[in-house]
Amino acid sequence: MNGIKNTFKKTIQRIFTFFWLGVFLYSAYQLVTIGLDYWENRKIMEEIQKEYRPELFAVEEAEESQMIRPQFLDLLKMNGDIVGWITIENTPIDYPILQAEDNDYYLYRNYKHEKTRAGSIFLDFRNDVRQPDRNTIIYGHNMRDGSMFGELDQYLNEEFFQENQIFYFDTLYDSYIVEVFSVYLTTTDFYYIETDFASDEEYLQFLRTIQNKSAIETDAVLDAKDRIITLSTCDRGFNYEKGRLVVHGKLIKQGS
């Protein structure tokens, strides 16, 4: 009888050993897969970063703003959906901006149309870079390795905010500097991605709301003639599905 009990006990132990070994191997596989995905994404982004050389070209005059700027010509050969470029100093954010017919296509695809968990930095399908709306919205994943919009949360740090209050937004047609005036954590219940406003007063109320929500106070003055840019990413610390980190900035066109 004792022999049967011992055999049964050893069998159970083996089952548990194989079970936990399987869990360990699966977890290791997942970590390696994620690591490779991060590495491949960085490599792919480095390839296109080498092709974008805005410093070789002067900022165009306003009357030339409907011509595609020369620094984008080679990029458009790589992907005709590229509509701009975003650069935030002291972060890895130095990426092409893509736009599709919806906000799903580039959520998990890179500029080579390959599926990847990092996706792309992409413009809301409702926006038009030829004639910016009052609210231009750009999305990107909050990646754990800091890529894409993974370091956008640095704007919640007041020292970083003050030292990097300006970033750069280039489109096929125009060049802008962006003065950041608001950063906050919210949820998808707050509709900060409105692009069309019925009146100046409605737009001004929206501007007051998002400025008052800022975790860091600024003395920015905004009026109905101003156009803004909204950077949106997930808030991993709260809820990856519903939590959002949002940065708003005022668009200032260069060369005009």
Cβ burial of 126 (10 Å; 0-12, 13-18, 19+) is middle
* Active-site residue flag, 8: no
Task: Report whether 227 contacts 134 (CB < 8 A).
Answer: yes
For residue 12 the two structure tokens come to 């159970």
The CA–CA distances, whole Å, from 229 to 6, 36, 64 equal 69, 33, 22
Which SS3 state, helix, strand or coil, does residue 59 take?
Answer: coil
DSSP class per residue in 93-146: -EEEEE--SSSSGGGSB-TTS-B-TT--EEE-TT--TTS--SEEEEE--B-TTS
Of 172, 234, 247, 251, which one is the catalytic site residue? 234
Strand bridging mode 82-87 / 135-139: unpaired
Q: Which residues are catalytic?
A: 234
